């Protein structure tokens, strides 16, 4: 473990993903890149359920610098292809949660890659609502203001 990794762990209150990155906790590693680590989830939703995390501690998607985000995206694609190939899955989900209200359990940005099969028991369903077109367009315009 490098001194740098040790500092990061102490800075982040024993964050489990920082500990995995630092090699303090073992993990079934799939990919070890400059900015990104991928490993199998120890409590998988399905066999082959993988995680992709930044090596540096960032709490949410909104905290990740662009160069790291690019590496995360490319790694998600690469690992997804490998998981699908190996498991023979007919589909896969990429899930990412930000903050407790969205179900983020570990406050270190991470992406789930979950292989899917016809009639598996996994559910990520929500109740679809309808929204008036004028209301939808007005809301889009309001959000667009926040993009500026």
Q: Which residues are catalytic?
A: 110
Q: What angle do CA 45, 51, 57 make, to 5 degrees?
A: 135
In the complex, minimum distance from the CB of residue 66 to Zn ion, in angstroms, rounded to a whole number: 19
* Cα–Cα distance, 21 to 113 (Å, whole number): 18
Among 15, 36, 51, 113, binds Zn ion (CB under 5 A): 15
List C-alpha distances in Å: 24 to 42, 89, 101, 126: 15, 32, 29, 38
Q: Any contact of residue 12 with Zn ion (CB under 5 A)?
A: yes
Stretches 15-23, 43-51, 119-127, 132-140: which one binds Zn ion (CB under 5 A)?
15-23
**Residues 96-115 as x/- pattern, contact with Zn ion by CB under 5 A:** ------------x-------
Q: Which is nearer to Zn ion, 57 or 112 (CB)?
A: 57
Q: Which positions from 20 through 79 interact with Zn ion, judged by CB under 5 A?
A: 57
| Nearer CB in complex with Zn ion: 12/97 | 12
Residue 43 is encoded by which pair of tokens? 């409590």
Whether 75 contacts 31, CB under 8 Å: yes
């Amino acid at each position: 473990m490098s001194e740098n990794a040790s500092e990061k762990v102490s800075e982040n209150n024993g964050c489990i993903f920082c500990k995995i990155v630092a090699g303090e906790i073992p993990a079934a590693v799939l990919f070890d890149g400059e900015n990104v680590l991928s490993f199998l989830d120890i409590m998988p939703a399905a066999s082959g359920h993988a995680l992709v995390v930044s090596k540096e501690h960032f709490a949410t998607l909104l905290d990740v610098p662009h160069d790291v985000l690019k590496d995360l995206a490319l790694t998600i694609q690469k690992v997804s292809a490998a998981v699908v190939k190996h498991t023979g899955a007919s589909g896969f989900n990429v899930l990412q949660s930000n903050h407790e209200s969205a179900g983020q359990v570990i406050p270190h940005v991470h992406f789930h890659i979950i292989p899917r099969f016809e009639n598996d028991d996994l559910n990520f369903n929500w109740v679809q609502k309808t929204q008036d077109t004028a209301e939808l367009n007005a809301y889009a315009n309001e959000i667009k203001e926040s993009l500026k």
